Structure 1
Amino acid sequence: MRFLNDFGRRAMAATAVLSITAGLALAGDPTISADQIVNALKPKPVMRGITVVPNTPQFDPTVQAKESALLDSVRNRAPRSLSLDEREQIAEIAATKPKIDLEIQFDYNSAEISRTAMPAVQELGKALTDPSLKGATLVVAGHTDGVGGNSFNQDLSERRAETIKRYLVDKYGLAGKNLIAVGYGKTKLKNTANPTDAINRRVQVVNMDVKTAAK
C-alpha cells in the first residue's frame, strides 16, 4: 500500500499568518497563541455512540502499523536524506491528520528565522510542550513559493524545516526523535493560482499520532 522559494523573494517584513487547514482560517493574526496551535493539533475526540467504520484509516490496525513503520524509518534523519517516495508517503499520511500552517518568514534567501517571525515560532514551541501533545510524533514540513528552480527550492525548504526543528529541540527541550523535518520545495503550493503568494511560504506542523480521545 502506498501512503501516500523562494529564490528571489523580496526582503520585506511580514507578519506571521496562520491558517488551520481543517477548515478554520485565522489569517492575518501576528499574535497567534500557543493555545490556538494546541487546539489545531490535538487529536479530534470520538463521540460515544458514533459507529466506527473498521476500515477507516484512523481505526484500521493494518494502516496504523504501516504508518508507524514509515515514521520509525525516517526518525532522526536529515530532510535531505528522505527520498521522493518517502516524502510523498509522509504527505499522504499527513493529509488525514490534525495540522496547522504557520507562515514563518525567514531572512532573504536564507534558512535563518527572521525577527518578525520569532514570536510565532516561540508560540509554536510553547504549544508543543503542552501535556496534551506530550510524546506525539510531529512532522515539520517546509514549503516555498513558486519562484526559482526546483532544486534550489527543495534545498531551501529542507534547511528551513531543519532550522525550526533544531530551534524547538534546543529552546524547548523537545525530543528530536519525535520531530520529523521534511521539505517539499514548491511542489505543494497552497495557492496554485498565484505561485508567488506569500501563503505558499509556510511551515506546516502535523500531529501524526493516531490516538483519539473518547467522549
Structure 2
Amino acid sequence: MSRVSHRVFGLVAVLLTVVPAAAQEVTEDQILKALLPQKTRSLSIGAPAPAPAAAPADVAFVDTLRNKSSAALSADTREKLKLVAADKPAFDLSMEFDFRSDVLKGSALQNADKLGRALSNPALANQTFVIAGHTDAKGTDAANQKLSERRAEAVKRYLVQQYKLPAANLIAVGYGKSRLKNEADPTGAENRRVQAVNLLQVKTAGR
C-alpha cells in the first residue's frame, strides 16, 4: 500500500471514530418521550389506562416547594425530594458550563433550548418538573452544592423567560457532587448535568 493510501485510510479511520459521538447528540423528541406520563396497559380492550397519579402526600410535599429557590431547600428537603422523584420519568442533559460559572452558552444553551421546547409540548402541559443540577467531584462539597444550585436556577430562569413556562411548575434543586452519574470517573463530563423529572407522574411497566 502506498504512503498516500495509508494517509487516506488513516483519515477515514479518524472520521469513523468521530461520527458516532456526534450521532449521540440528544434530541428534543428524546427528551419529550422520556418525560411523557407513562401509560399502563389496560386489561380490557380499548385505550391504555391513565398513568397512575402520585401519592397525595407527595403532591402536598411538592406544593410546599413551589416558588422556593434552590438555596432555600434544606438537606432533608433535598433528600425527600430525591425519594419522591426516584420512580418518576426523568432525563439527563449534559450541561457544560465554564469553570465555576452558571452562564448558559454553547452546548449548555442548546440543551436548555431542547428542554424548553420539549416542556412546552402540549403533551406535558400542567406537569410539574424538578430541574436538578449536578456537578462532578472537583472541589469541595460546599462549593459544588452552591454551584449546582446556581446552575439549576439558571436553567429554570431561562425556561421561564424564554419559553414562558410557569415558574411554580419548575422546582430547581442542587445536589452538588453527591449523586455522581459515573462514580468510576468522578471528574467525568457525564457528571456535569441537569436532570429533568416529571415529578407527579409515576413510571410503571406495562402489563
Greater displacement, 37-46 / 172-181 = 37-46
The corresponding residue for 2:26 is 32
Alignment of 1:200-215 (within 5 A): 200-210=191-201
* Offset of residue 157 of structure 1: 0.1
The corresponding residue for 1:44 is 38
Distance 2:61 2:183 in 1: 29
**Per-residue CA distance 1:9-65 (angstroms, 9 max, x = gap):** xxxxxxxxxxxxxxxxx9865642211110000011110118xxxxxxx85x8x711
| Off by >6 Å, runs of 4+ in structure 1 | none
Please give the TM-score of this superposition, normalised by the length of structure 2: 0.81
The answer as to 2:181 corresponding to 1:187 is no
Distance 1:187 1:211 in 2: 24
Letter in 2 for 1:154: Q
Identity %: 44
Alignment of 1:102-117 (within 5 A): 102-117=93-108
Alignment of 1:138-157 (within 5 A): 138-157=129-148
1:178 to 137, 157, 169: 169
The residue matched to 2:161 in structure 1 has which SS?
helix
The residue matched to 2:168 in structure 1 has which SS?
helix
Structure number having the greater helix percentage: 2
Distance 1:88 1:27 in 2: 34
Letter in 1 for 2:100: N
Letter in 1 for 2:60: A
Q: CA RMSD in A?
A: 2.5
The answer as to 2:57 corresponding to 1:66 is yes
Aligned length: 181
Distance 2:121 2:79 in 1: 29
Q: Which residues of structure 1 form unaligned runs of 5+?
A: 1-25, 51-57
The corresponding residue for 1:55 is none
The residue matched to 1:74 in structure 2 has which SS?
coil
The residue matched to 2:126 in structure 1 has which SS?
coil
Distance 1:190 1:173, change over 3 A: same
Please give the TM-score of this superposition, normalised by the length of structure 1: 0.78
The residue matched to 1:165 in structure 2 has which SS?
helix
Letter in 1 for 2:33: N
Q: Which residues of structure 2 form unaligned runs of 5+?
A: 1-19, 45-50
The corresponding residue for 1:98 is 89
The corresponding residue for 1:197 is 188
The corresponding residue for 1:169 is 160
Is the CA contact (8 Å cut-off) linking 1:161 and 1:182 kept in structure 2? yes
Report which of the two structures shows the higher radius of gyration computed on alpha carbons. Answer: 2
